[in-house]
Amino acid sequence: MPITLEGSCHCGTVRFTVKSSTPVPYQLCVCSICRKVGGVGGSINLGAHSKTLIITQGKECIGVYKAVMDRDTPKEHIEMSERNFCMKCSSMLWLYDETWPEFLHPFASVIDSPELEAPDELVVLKLNSKPNYVRLPEGRKNVFKDYPSDSIESWHKKHKKYVE
- Report residue 70: phi and psi, to 5°: 50, 45
pLDDT digits (tens, 9 = 90+) for 122-154: 999 999 999 999 999 999 999 999 999 999 999
- Per-residue CA distances from 87 to 32, 90, 118, 144 (Å): 21, 5, 29, 33
pLDDT digits (tens, 9 = 90+) for 7-28: 999 999 999 999 999 999 999 9
pLDDT digits (tens, 9 = 90+) for 102-122: 999 999 999 999 999 999 999
> Whole-angstrom Cα distance, residue 14 to residue 60?
9
> Whole-angstrom Cα distance, residue 143 to residue 96?
25
- Report residue 123: phi and psi, to 5°: -105, 120
* pLDDT at position 70 over 90: no
Entry pTM = 0.93
Could you please report the per-residue DSSP string of 72-140? Answer: TSTT-EE-S-EEEEETTT--EEEEE-TTSTTEEEEBGGGEEESPPPPPSSEEEE-GGG--TTPPPPSS-
Rounded to an integer, the average pLDDT of 45-53 is 97
